[in-house]
Structure 1
Amino acid sequence: MEFRHLRCFAALAEELHFGRAAQRLAISQPPLSVAIQQLEALVGARLFERDSKGVRLTPAGTAFRTSALGLLERAEAACALAREVQAGERGRLRLGFVGSTLQHGLADWLQAFAKAHPRVEVVVVELNSQDQIEALLKEELDLGLVHTDRLPPALDCQPLYREPFMACLPASHPGARRRQVSLESLADQPFILFSRKGSPDYHARIVEICRQHGFYPRLQHEGRHWLSVVSLVAQGLGVSIVPAAFARAGIQGAVFKPLTEELEPSAVFAAWRREGDGALRERFLAVRSGIAVKT
């Protein structure tokens, strides 16, 4: 049995006239008659009475009609769902993010997307950049918000925003009372850095900044998330250099000061697999361009 048989049955069951049913289906009457005969043979029951008075459903045809129409409706719904998913109007987006994006309007972005695309489910998970890259490669994420554009060939990216670095100091640190802090003044301090394993590119970036200014940081502790780094600083265990977004994190005991040196800003990128359907990703990224992003 094919769906064309059911469509022919449905049209004839409603019109009860071969000519009108054929016209509705945009076919001639002979193919319609053949389709109905084939369907009756497949079902094993006579579905229509045909005589000089016209066309009528048999009791078997009346019983068959409800299920047949249900099958057609479910088929149309399945087709519509497939089209919506392909167009990015429906589906599930698995999003990874680094903590700094929470201070750059990620919540507003998610709310705006949910309002514009209520039939798309967005599942979010906070991961460091390296874990996101691995999850993207394993197809466990559809989109990642990461701190690096140094990606494997299978991934692509686009920049989202840039922000300055700041010195992150314990409230008891002498520099916490200054308007600005120089990197040189931190040379002999214990440093708390983002984990080399969690984000090797970012870890190397901070080390290189220090090296370019005449010293290597005295690594005291590492954190796998930026908020862990800031929390360790707040406990007085060392100093750090972090993206400016964390000045808004509200962690008591941590003080953020501009650096006197001009550094290349920190950047966040949207990353994804080159292969695969990108309709949902494109819709999600497009929503961000239409909202005010915190900087």
Structure 2
Amino acid sequence: MSGMTYTLEQLRGFVAVAEELHFGRAAARLRMTQPPLSRQIQKLEVAVGARLLDRDNRRVLLTPAGEVFLAEARRILALVESAPDLAQRVSSGSRGVVRLGFTAASTFGILGRLLDDLERRLPEVRVDLFEMVTREQLAALAAGDIDLGLARPPFDSELFASREVHREALLVAVPSGHRLTTLGRAATPADLGAEPLVLHSPQKARYFYDLVVSMVPLAHERVVHSVSQILTMLWLVAAGRGVAFVPESATLLGVPGVKFVPLSTPVARPVELHLLWPRESRNPALRRAVAVLRGDA
């Protein structure tokens, strides 16, 4: 195997000869004379360490090694020719990777819509998904491990730019046949006085915990379970363990044995979801993705 290298001019010369199977026509196509083209092919064969062409006075044929090398030569030339365009597209943000963190609850309808928007408007940007709670997203955004987050407030507005993408109501999830399903109106805190509660964990689901506590006076001795995932809450409700406060999008989960009752809250749709990104980022694809998702692009 030879340690010599070959040039792009030699590759282009070889491809022209291989396609024309005639040195004279290949030289004319390359706007050069035949002797320097012949020398290019000879140098290429020395560099490759194999005879690529069989030639005599009447004809030129590719050797088996030449057939294989032709495919590689075309691939290399295609890469070289596309490299400036690829670099420009990466620089402009129309191609690249955006790493998106999301909370499990944000997948109920919202995440799919955002991904559809990105795929339609930026088809060459790949979106990598990472499921994590808001606290984990904030740390990953600050460390540069993800580019975008779908998260709940609060967050540091000096570090992160944001846009509210969704607001929804807070409902009471109750077992089928529960007395609250016959109220005929929104439930109030007084209606829940004696109910056992399945509540969000104050450590792992801080946003929902704080939201519920701020809107509903709770007797903590009535809390029978504290969990972090909405799906888990609904299964516990279905099992008759208590009632739970969940976002309206939880109705999309279709857990059997659970009904949803409107809850009277000081704010009509208090559950917020925000798109979040670092104010300082060197990822051009992030700028394009944010513009699309904000409706600016």
When normalised by structure 2's length, the TM-score is 0.65
- Alignment-derived partner of residue 207 in structure 1: 213
1:22 is matched with which residue: 30, 36, 43?
Answer: 30
C-alpha deviation, 1:256, in angstroms: 1.9
- Alignment-derived partner of residue 11 in structure 1: 16
- Alignment-derived partner of residue 129 in structure 1: 134
- Alignment-derived partner of residue 72 in structure 1: 73
Contact 1:143 1:281 (8 Å CA) reproduced? no
Alignment-mate amino acid for residue 257 of structure 1: V
Segments of structure 2 that go 5 or more residues without pairing to the other structure are 1-5
Alignment-mate amino acid for residue 180 of structure 2: G
> Would you say how many aligned residue pairs link Structure 1 and Structure 2?
278
Segments of structure 1 that go 5 or more residues without pairing to the other structure are 290-295
Q: Distance in 2 between matches of 1:28 and 1:216?
A: 91
Cα 1:41–1:251 shift into 2, 3 Å: closer
RMSD between aligned alpha carbons? 4.8
- Alignment-derived partner of residue 237 in structure 1: 241
Q: Secondary structure at the match of 2:30?
A: helix
Is residue 83 of structure 1 aligned with residue 78 of structure 2? no
* 1:165-192 alpha-carbon deviations (Å, 9 max, x no partner): 1223344654332121113443665432
Alignment-mate amino acid for residue 69 of structure 2: A
Q: Distance in 1 between matches of 2:290 and 2:76?
A: 29
Alignment-mate amino acid for residue 160 of structure 1: V
Contact 1:190 1:237 (8 Å CA) reproduced? yes
1:164 is matched with which residue: 166, 169, 174?
Answer: 169
Cα 1:128–1:181 shift into 2, 3 Å: same
Contact 2:53 2:63 (8 Å CA) reproduced? no
* 1:35-70 alpha-carbon deviations (Å, 9 max, x no partner): 45643553467877999x79x64x7x7455323322
Alignment-mate amino acid for residue 205 of structure 1: L
Cα 1:28–1:282 shift into 2, 3 Å: farther
When normalised by structure 1's length, the TM-score is 0.66
Contact 2:118 2:292 (8 Å CA) reproduced? no
Q: Secondary structure at the match of 1:161?
A: strand
% identical equivalent positions: 28
Q: Distance in 2 between matches of 1:192 and 1:225?
A: 11
